[in-house]
Amino acid sequence: MKRLLTVTVFLTLAAIAALGQAVEDGSRRTIGYISSSGTVENASRGTIGYFKSNGAVEDGSRRTIGYIRENGTVENASRSTIGYIRDNGTVENASRSTIGHVTSSGTVENGSRSTIGYAKGIKQEWAAAFFFFFFKLGN
């Protein structure tokens, strides 16, 4: 019985890990998932995007919609700078005005520091990019 329980717990944990981490809006409603491989899904589990290791951000049809550079610069598909993601989680628009912040604990805030979402257990830059490209962090 103990072995069956151990296998069941392991399989359950493996399934949870495979599903990726949930991204929630300010009301704690799940609005998406980000897997450890960078696949972005909406709340219905439909793929809506990808974070690529080369910094490209793609939509669900694999069209490049932007880039996240190693220095934190965020560009649109035309490679024009549209914002910045700072090491401390601050997200700025192209004019360098703060439009959001992702804390190390996973709380996502708008420019006024009101909580607009949660992204616990997800890479800080991916969480910021999720809200920047797929949820509109300025909301």
Work out the number of other CB atoms within 10 angstroms of the CB of residue 7. 10
Q: How many helices (H) and strands (E) does the chain have?
A: 2, 12
pLDDT for 44 beyond 80: yes
pLDDT in tens, 103-120: 888 899 988 889 989 988
Q: What SS3 class is residue 97?
A: coil
- How does pLDDT run across 14-41, given as a tens digit for each residue? 333 334 588 888 899 998 999 888 899 9
**Per-residue confidence (pLDDT) for residue 8, from 0 to 100:** 31
